[in-house]
């Protein structure tokens, strides 16, 4: 796989950074990718026209930000509501895929599963079209300024399609 990417590594994690960011990775990545350690301007990144997909744990805010920008999602949930959000992305809204279909984080995700998920997401034109269409339907008046407002907008959309 040789795709451009942005990879954000949270530095406040208890996990040793060398595990995720081995020595020499910068030189292997070269100009193909950008690795950010710490906070990243997620909304600015998702707003960029060259973004073709979003690999996320599917927390509520990240899920809404991807939907609000019409970005297809590759879901990698690890806890709590992330599993429900991920299932909604793949099975109900059909604007992305899950790396694993398990309901917990017990499965070790291998590199090949991530590569396969990225290639599947990036090559599926229908998923990209549905993501853009969903953005237009859910956030037709613009993206909400708060999580509560996005929850209300999404709830209103679900009520419309459920009727």
Tens-place pLDDT, residues 69-95: 999 999 999 988 999 999 999 999 999
The verdict on residue 25 lying in a domain is no
Report the alpha-carbon distance of residue 46 to residue 85 in Å, rounded.
18
Say which CATH number the domain at 59 has: 3.40.50.2000
Write down the mean pLDDT value for the chain. 84
Nearest to 4 by CA among 42, 46, 48, 51: 51
The verdict on residue 3 lying in a domain is no
pLDDT tens-digit series, residues 111-133: 899 999 999 999 999 999 999 99
The verdict on residue 63 lying in a domain is yes
The verdict on residue 14 lying in a domain is no
The verdict on residue 36 lying in a domain is no
Domain span including residue 94: 41-162
Among positive and negative, which fits the CA dihedral 142, 145, 151, 152?
negative
The verdict on residue 27 lying in a domain is no
Neighbours of 96 (CB within 10 A): 30
Domain count of the fold of the chain: 1
Give per-residue burial for 41-79: e unless 16+ CB within 10 Å, then b.
ebeebbeeeebebbbbbbbbebbbbbbbbbbbbbbbbee
């Amino acid at each position: 796989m040789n795709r451009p990417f942005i990879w954000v590594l949270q530095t406040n994690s208890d996990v040793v950074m060398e595990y995720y960011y081995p020595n020499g990775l910068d030189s292997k990545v070269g100009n193909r990718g950008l690795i950010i350690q710490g906070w990243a301007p997620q909304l600015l990144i998702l707003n960029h026209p060259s973004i073709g997909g979003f690999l996320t744990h599917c927390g509520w805010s990240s899920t809404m930000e991807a939907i609000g920008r019409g970005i297809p999602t590759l879901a990698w949930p690890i806890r709590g509501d992330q599993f429900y959000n991920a299932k909604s992305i793949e099975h109900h809204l059909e604007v992305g895929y899950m790396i694993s279909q398990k309901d917990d984080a017990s499965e070790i995700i291998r590199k090949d599963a991530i590569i396969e998920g990225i290639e599947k997401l990036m090559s599926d034109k229908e998923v990209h079209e549905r993501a853009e269409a969903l953005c237009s339907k859910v956030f037709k008046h613009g993206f909400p300024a708060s999580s509560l407002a996005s929850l209300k907008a999404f709830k209103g959309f679900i009520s419309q399609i459920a009727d």
